[in-house]
Amino acid sequence: MNRTVLLVTVLGLGGTLLVSTGAVPLLDEPTDDIGEDVELHPSDSPDGKYAYIDDEGELVVDISASNPNVEGPVGVNPDTVTAFENVFRIRYNGSRYAEVWLTHESDAITFSARGEPIRSESAAVTLGPNESVGVDGHVYTTGGRDEMRADGLGVHAPGAGHDADRRNQPKA
């Protein structure tokens, strides 16, 4: 492998995930308020150090050496699946129920809550009034994937605040 390819691989494996949203603090710690009574904040867990609220009030998940909260070796190994548990939390501050899911354009990264991917409306996590859930991240470097960057994570919660009885109905 020549030096240029090695540099691209190393940069790709130490990728940054960026959630581009505005912020208004609703908890005691800094949060990223994405609207619809839904906010994001770094978890108080060992892997929560990979998430922080930046100067613009946006949640950033950063597994690279540029993360100001992490010392020593960072990133992921090649040809593996690396799990980051409870990196950040999604909180719903409404009085009814909300279906929340995350989207992005990287096929090498999966976000999950309660052990299940939350990547579409049919695979959303349901949050009750004033409930929060930890979000895990899995980074896949298998199959020759070497670009681990996902800018502009989409957080979806359409119609947040639906009635409790809808929570038990099958999703379309």
Instruction: Answer whether residue 2 shows pLDDT above 60.
Output: no
Determine phi and psi for 112, rounding to 5 degrees: -140, 160
Q: What is the structure's pLDDT at 172?
A: 36
DSSP-H helix ranges across the chain: 3-13
Determine phi and psi for 15, rounding to 5 degrees: -70, 165
With tokens 């540099």, the residue in question is 7
pTM of the model: 0.76
More confident residue, 73 or 81: 81
Q: What is the pLDDT of residues 82-141, one digit of tens each?
A: 999 999 999 999 988 999 999 988 888 899 999 999 999 999 999 999 999 999 999 988
- The answer to whether the Cα torsion of 144, 148, 153, 156 is positive or negative is positive
